């Protein structure tokens, strides 16, 4: 692939990048995440979990990875809305799906990989 309008130095860097990162080279301009096996020891160790998600888990009574792995993201999402009395951002459901996936399989994926599974989306 020839990139028009780039200096010879930038063209060489791009060619070097394509050789070192062949799977990522076609994703120019998009964030690409690598799925990694990341065995978590606690909820806080999960990839997509920060203070807010830990708070959501506490609100839902989820304290262990085993409890999380046995959960369903849609059920957790609706339960969180009921518990807080607030409408939650749909991305919260995707975070739940990503964390459940990691708790079950050890594969750490970013939350947006689960957006297509959201009810009402194609």
pLDDT for 2-47, tens place per residue? 555 656 665 666 555 555 544 444 444 444 455 566 667 899 999 9
pLDDT for 115 equals 93
pLDDT for 11 equals 62
Would you list the domain boundaries of the chain? 1-32, 33-117
φ and ψ of 36, to 5 deg: -130, 145
57 sits in which H/E element: helix 51-60
Alpha helices, DSSP H only, in 23-117? 51-60, 65-69, 73-84, 90-105
In the predicted model, what is the mean pLDDT of residues 89-93?
Answer: 95
pLDDT for 35 equals 55
φ and ψ of 107, to 5 deg: -85, 120
Distance CA 69, CA 100 (A): 5
Average pLDDT score, the chain: 81
pLDDT for 119 equals 77
Distance CA 92, CA 102 (A): 15
Taking Cα atoms as reference points, which of 97, 49, 98, 109 lies closest to residue 72? Answer: 97
């Amino acid at each position: 692939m020839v990139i028009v309008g780039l200096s010879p130095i930038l063209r060489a860097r791009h060619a070097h990048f394509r050789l070192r990162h062949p799977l990522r080279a076609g994703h120019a301009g998009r964030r690409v995440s690598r799925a990694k096996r990341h065995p978590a020891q606690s909820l806080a160790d999960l990839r997509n979990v920060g203070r807010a998600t830990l708070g959501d888990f506490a609100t839902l009574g989820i304290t262990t990875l085993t409890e999380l792995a046995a959960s369903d993201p849609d059920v957790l999402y609706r339960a969180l809305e009921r518990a807080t009395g607030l409408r939650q951002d749909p991305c919260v459901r995707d975070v739940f799906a990503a964390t459940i996936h990691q708790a079950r399989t050890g594969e750490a994926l970013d939350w947006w990989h689960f957006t297509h599974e959201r009810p009402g989306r194609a």
